Amino acid sequence: MATEKDNKNTKPVGKPAGKTASGKSKGVDAAVEAAAAAAAKEPPRLKVLFDKQVRAKLASEFGLKNPMQHPRMTKIVININMGRHLEGTKIPVEKKNTVLETITKVTGQKPVVIRAKKSVSNFKLREGYESSAMVTLRRDRMWQFLDRFIHLASPRIKDFRGLPEKAFDKQGSYAFGLQEQGVFPEINMAEVNFTHGMNINICFAGSTPDRSRFVLEQLGFPFRKPEEKISKPASAPAAAPAAPKA
Protein backbone atom coordinates (compact mmCIF):
# COMPACT_ATOMS: atom_id res chain seq x y z
CA MET A 1 0.00 0.00 0.00
CA ALA A 2 1.35 3.42 -1.02
CA THR A 3 2.04 5.64 1.90
CA GLU A 4 1.27 9.35 2.15
CA LYS A 5 4.96 10.12 1.53
CA ASP A 6 4.94 8.10 -1.70
CA ASN A 7 1.84 9.98 -2.91
CA LYS A 8 3.61 13.31 -2.41
CA ASN A 9 6.64 12.24 -4.47
CA THR A 10 4.50 10.96 -7.34
CA LYS A 11 4.49 13.41 -10.33
CA PRO A 12 1.06 14.20 -11.77
CA VAL A 13 0.20 12.82 -15.17
CA GLY A 14 -0.16 15.52 -17.87
CA LYS A 15 1.80 17.58 -20.38
CA PRO A 16 5.58 17.28 -20.05
CA ALA A 17 7.27 20.16 -18.29
CA GLY A 18 8.64 22.80 -20.58
CA LYS A 19 6.22 21.99 -23.42
CA THR A 20 3.37 24.08 -24.79
CA ALA A 21 0.05 22.83 -26.11
CA SER A 22 1.43 22.73 -29.66
CA GLY A 23 4.36 20.57 -28.56
CA LYS A 24 6.99 23.32 -28.96
CA SER A 25 9.44 24.05 -26.24
CA LYS A 26 8.91 27.16 -24.13
CA GLY A 27 12.57 27.95 -24.64
CA VAL A 28 12.07 28.21 -28.41
CA ASP A 29 9.11 30.58 -27.97
CA ALA A 30 11.11 32.69 -25.56
CA ALA A 31 13.98 32.89 -28.05
CA VAL A 32 11.60 34.00 -30.83
CA GLU A 33 10.07 36.66 -28.60
CA ALA A 34 13.51 37.85 -27.55
CA ALA A 35 14.62 38.13 -31.20
CA ALA A 36 11.48 40.10 -32.08
CA ALA A 37 12.03 42.43 -29.15
CA ALA A 38 15.68 42.95 -30.15
CA ALA A 39 14.63 43.76 -33.73
CA ALA A 40 12.09 46.27 -32.43
CA LYS A 41 14.74 47.97 -30.30
CA GLU A 42 17.27 48.11 -33.14
CA PRO A 43 17.95 51.77 -34.00
CA PRO A 44 16.85 53.04 -37.44
CA ARG A 45 19.50 52.55 -40.09
CA LEU A 46 19.43 56.19 -41.22
CA LYS A 47 20.12 57.31 -37.67
CA VAL A 48 23.05 54.89 -37.48
CA LEU A 49 24.33 56.22 -40.81
CA PHE A 50 24.07 59.80 -39.55
CA ASP A 51 25.87 59.09 -36.27
CA LYS A 52 28.68 56.96 -37.71
CA GLN A 53 29.42 58.54 -41.09
CA VAL A 54 27.55 61.76 -41.82
CA ARG A 55 28.69 63.53 -38.64
CA ALA A 56 32.37 63.04 -39.50
CA LYS A 57 31.89 64.22 -43.09
CA LEU A 58 29.89 67.20 -41.86
CA ALA A 59 32.63 68.26 -39.45
CA SER A 60 35.26 67.92 -42.16
CA GLU A 61 33.23 69.79 -44.79
CA PHE A 62 32.27 72.80 -42.65
CA GLY A 63 35.11 72.80 -40.11
CA LEU A 64 32.91 72.04 -37.10
CA LYS A 65 35.23 71.15 -34.22
CA ASN A 66 32.58 71.10 -31.51
CA PRO A 67 29.95 68.32 -31.80
CA MET A 68 27.35 70.73 -30.41
CA GLN A 69 27.69 72.74 -33.63
CA HIS A 70 26.36 69.86 -35.72
CA PRO A 71 22.82 70.31 -37.08
CA ARG A 72 20.18 68.03 -35.60
CA MET A 73 17.00 66.76 -37.21
CA THR A 74 14.35 67.36 -34.57
CA LYS A 75 11.02 66.41 -36.14
CA ILE A 76 9.01 65.80 -39.32
CA VAL A 77 5.60 67.44 -39.57
CA ILE A 78 3.00 66.11 -42.04
CA ASN A 79 -0.05 68.22 -42.81
CA ILE A 80 -3.06 67.50 -45.06
CA ASN A 81 -5.56 70.23 -45.89
CA MET A 82 -9.26 69.32 -45.56
CA GLY A 83 -10.80 72.80 -45.61
CA ARG A 84 -11.55 72.72 -49.35
CA HIS A 85 -13.97 69.84 -48.75
CA LEU A 86 -16.16 71.78 -46.32
CA GLU A 87 -19.87 71.35 -46.93
CA GLY A 88 -21.67 73.91 -44.84
CA THR A 89 -20.04 73.69 -41.44
CA LYS A 90 -18.58 70.17 -41.56
CA ILE A 91 -16.30 67.99 -43.65
CA PRO A 92 -17.93 64.86 -45.16
CA VAL A 93 -17.26 61.86 -42.96
CA GLU A 94 -15.89 59.64 -45.75
CA LYS A 95 -13.32 62.24 -46.84
CA LYS A 96 -12.26 63.00 -43.28
CA ASN A 97 -11.82 59.29 -42.54
CA THR A 98 -9.76 58.83 -45.72
CA VAL A 99 -7.34 61.57 -44.69
CA LEU A 100 -7.01 60.29 -41.13
CA GLU A 101 -6.48 56.70 -42.28
CA THR A 102 -3.84 57.81 -44.78
CA ILE A 103 -1.78 59.57 -42.13
CA THR A 104 -2.16 56.69 -39.68
CA LYS A 105 -1.01 54.07 -42.22
CA VAL A 106 1.89 56.15 -43.52
CA THR A 107 3.27 57.28 -40.16
CA GLY A 108 1.99 54.70 -37.67
CA GLN A 109 0.75 57.54 -35.49
CA LYS A 110 -2.73 58.98 -34.93
CA PRO A 111 -3.11 62.52 -36.36
CA VAL A 112 -4.61 65.60 -34.75
CA VAL A 113 -7.46 67.53 -36.41
CA ILE A 114 -6.69 71.26 -36.59
CA ARG A 115 -9.47 73.87 -36.41
CA ALA A 116 -9.31 77.32 -38.00
CA LYS A 117 -8.14 80.07 -35.66
CA LYS A 118 -9.69 82.91 -37.67
CA SER A 119 -12.39 83.41 -40.29
CA VAL A 120 -11.41 83.87 -43.95
CA SER A 121 -14.32 84.81 -46.20
CA ASN A 122 -12.45 84.14 -49.47
CA PHE A 123 -11.99 80.49 -48.46
CA LYS A 124 -15.47 80.18 -46.94
CA LEU A 125 -13.81 79.36 -43.65
CA ARG A 126 -15.00 80.37 -40.21
CA GLU A 127 -13.31 80.24 -36.87
CA GLY A 128 -13.66 76.82 -35.23
CA TYR A 129 -14.20 74.85 -38.46
CA GLU A 130 -12.04 71.77 -39.06
CA SER A 131 -9.40 72.72 -41.62
CA SER A 132 -6.59 70.12 -41.67
CA ALA A 133 -5.05 67.03 -40.11
CA MET A 134 -1.50 67.04 -38.78
CA VAL A 135 0.97 64.67 -37.21
CA THR A 136 4.43 65.30 -35.72
CA LEU A 137 7.05 62.54 -35.86
CA ARG A 138 10.06 62.49 -33.55
CA ARG A 139 12.94 60.15 -32.68
CA ASP A 140 12.75 56.66 -34.24
CA ARG A 141 9.47 57.19 -36.11
CA MET A 142 10.93 60.27 -37.74
CA TRP A 143 13.96 58.36 -39.06
CA GLN A 144 11.83 55.40 -40.17
CA PHE A 145 9.44 57.62 -42.11
CA LEU A 146 12.33 59.41 -43.84
CA ASP A 147 13.87 56.05 -44.76
CA ARG A 148 10.61 54.80 -46.31
CA PHE A 149 10.13 58.02 -48.25
CA ILE A 150 13.65 58.00 -49.71
CA HIS A 151 13.80 54.34 -50.70
CA LEU A 152 10.13 53.36 -51.27
CA ALA A 153 7.90 56.37 -51.91
CA SER A 154 10.02 58.74 -54.01
CA PRO A 155 10.78 56.14 -56.76
CA ARG A 156 7.00 55.69 -57.18
CA ILE A 157 6.33 59.36 -57.97
CA LYS A 158 5.20 59.77 -61.57
CA ASP A 159 7.68 61.58 -63.83
CA PHE A 160 9.90 62.23 -60.83
CA ARG A 161 13.06 64.20 -61.53
CA GLY A 162 14.00 65.11 -57.99
CA LEU A 163 12.95 67.60 -55.35
CA PRO A 164 14.04 71.27 -55.53
CA GLU A 165 17.18 72.26 -53.63
CA LYS A 166 16.02 75.78 -52.77
CA ALA A 167 13.08 74.92 -50.48
CA PHE A 168 15.07 75.64 -47.30
CA ASP A 169 14.31 78.40 -44.80
CA LYS A 170 16.88 80.42 -42.84
CA GLN A 171 16.99 77.81 -40.04
CA GLY A 172 17.77 75.01 -42.49
CA SER A 173 14.36 73.31 -42.36
CA TYR A 174 13.13 71.80 -45.63
CA ALA A 175 9.53 71.75 -46.90
CA PHE A 176 8.03 69.97 -49.90
CA GLY A 177 4.69 68.62 -51.04
CA LEU A 178 3.25 65.49 -52.61
CA GLN A 179 0.29 65.49 -54.97
CA GLU A 180 -0.91 61.94 -54.36
CA GLN A 181 -0.96 59.67 -51.33
CA GLY A 182 -0.58 56.57 -53.52
CA VAL A 183 3.21 56.94 -53.69
CA PHE A 184 3.40 55.22 -50.30
CA PRO A 185 3.14 51.43 -50.63
CA GLU A 186 0.95 51.27 -47.52
CA ILE A 187 -1.91 52.97 -49.40
CA ASN A 188 -4.16 50.92 -51.67
CA MET A 189 -5.65 53.41 -54.14
CA ALA A 190 -8.48 50.98 -54.95
CA GLU A 191 -9.85 51.46 -51.43
CA VAL A 192 -9.78 55.28 -51.24
CA ASN A 193 -12.63 57.50 -52.45
CA PHE A 194 -10.58 60.54 -53.51
CA THR A 195 -7.00 61.59 -54.16
CA HIS A 196 -5.22 64.13 -51.97
CA GLY A 197 -1.69 65.35 -51.38
CA MET A 198 0.25 66.34 -48.29
CA ASN A 199 2.82 68.84 -47.06
CA ILE A 200 5.95 67.50 -45.35
CA ASN A 201 8.33 69.64 -43.29
CA ILE A 202 11.72 68.31 -42.17
CA CYS A 203 12.80 70.49 -39.24
CA PHE A 204 16.42 71.05 -38.21
CA ALA A 205 17.91 72.76 -35.15
CA GLY A 206 21.21 74.65 -35.10
CA SER A 207 21.57 74.45 -38.85
CA THR A 208 21.80 76.48 -42.05
CA PRO A 209 20.48 75.72 -45.55
CA ASP A 210 23.91 74.51 -46.73
CA ARG A 211 24.42 72.20 -43.75
CA SER A 212 20.92 70.75 -43.91
CA ARG A 213 21.28 70.14 -47.65
CA PHE A 214 24.58 68.36 -47.07
CA VAL A 215 23.05 66.12 -44.39
CA LEU A 216 20.07 65.17 -46.53
CA GLU A 217 22.26 64.48 -49.55
CA GLN A 218 24.46 62.15 -47.51
CA LEU A 219 21.35 60.31 -46.31
CA GLY A 220 20.29 59.74 -49.94
CA PHE A 221 17.57 62.40 -50.22
CA PRO A 222 16.44 62.65 -53.89
CA PHE A 223 17.32 66.23 -54.78
CA ARG A 224 16.96 67.43 -58.35
CA LYS A 225 20.22 67.10 -60.26
CA PRO A 226 21.49 70.18 -62.07
CA GLU A 227 20.81 70.00 -65.76
CA GLU A 228 23.87 69.66 -67.90
CA LYS A 229 24.47 72.61 -70.11
CA ILE A 230 24.43 71.70 -73.78
CA SER A 231 27.42 73.20 -75.51
CA LYS A 232 26.48 75.01 -78.69
CA PRO A 233 28.52 74.29 -81.84
CA ALA A 234 30.95 76.99 -82.78
CA SER A 235 29.52 79.32 -85.41
CA ALA A 236 31.12 79.31 -88.85
CA PRO A 237 33.47 82.22 -89.54
CA ALA A 238 31.97 85.09 -91.50
CA ALA A 239 32.73 85.13 -95.22
CA ALA A 240 35.43 87.52 -96.33
CA PRO A 241 34.13 90.56 -98.17
CA ALA A 242 34.36 90.34 -101.93
CA ALA A 243 37.25 92.16 -103.57
CA PRO A 244 36.25 95.36 -105.35
CA LYS A 245 36.01 95.16 -109.11
CA ALA A 246 38.75 96.79 -111.10
Q: What is the pLDDT of residue 158?
A: 85
Comparing 244 with 44, the larger pLDDT belongs to 44
What's the pTM value of the predicted model, to 2 decimals? 0.71
Q: Whole-angstrom Cα distance, residue 30 to residue 12?
A: 25
**How confident is the model over 168-201, as pLDDT tens digits?**
999 999 999 988 888 898 888 888 888 888 999 9
Q: What is the pLDDT of residue 74?
A: 93
**How confident is the model over 136-177, as pLDDT tens digits?**
999 999 999 999 999 999 888 888 888 988 889 999 999 999
**How confident is the model over 39-61, as pLDDT tens digits?**
557 888 999 999 999 999 988 98
CATH class of 41-85+93-113+132-218: alpha beta
**How confident is the model over 88-114, as pLDDT tens digits?**
677 788 888 888 888 899 998 999 988
The answer to whether residue 223 scores a pLDDT higher than 70 is yes
Q: How confident is the model at residue 6 (pLDDT cuts 50, 70, 90)?
A: low
Instruction: Write the DSSP string, the chain.
Output: ---HHHHHHSPPSSSPTTB-TTS-BHHHHHHHHHHHHHHHHSPPHHHHHIIIIIHHHHHHHHT--SGGGS-EEEEEEEEEE-GGG-BTTB--HHHHHHHHHHHHHHHSS--EEEE-SS-BGGGTB-TT-EEEEEEEE-HHHHHHHHHHIIIIIGGGSTT---B-S--B-TT--EEEEES-GGGSTT--TTS-SS---EEEEEEEES--HHHHHHHHHHTT--BPPPPPPPPPPPPPPPPPPPPPP-
The domain limits of the chain are 41-85+93-113+132-218
Cβ 132 vs Cβ 80: under 8 Å = yes
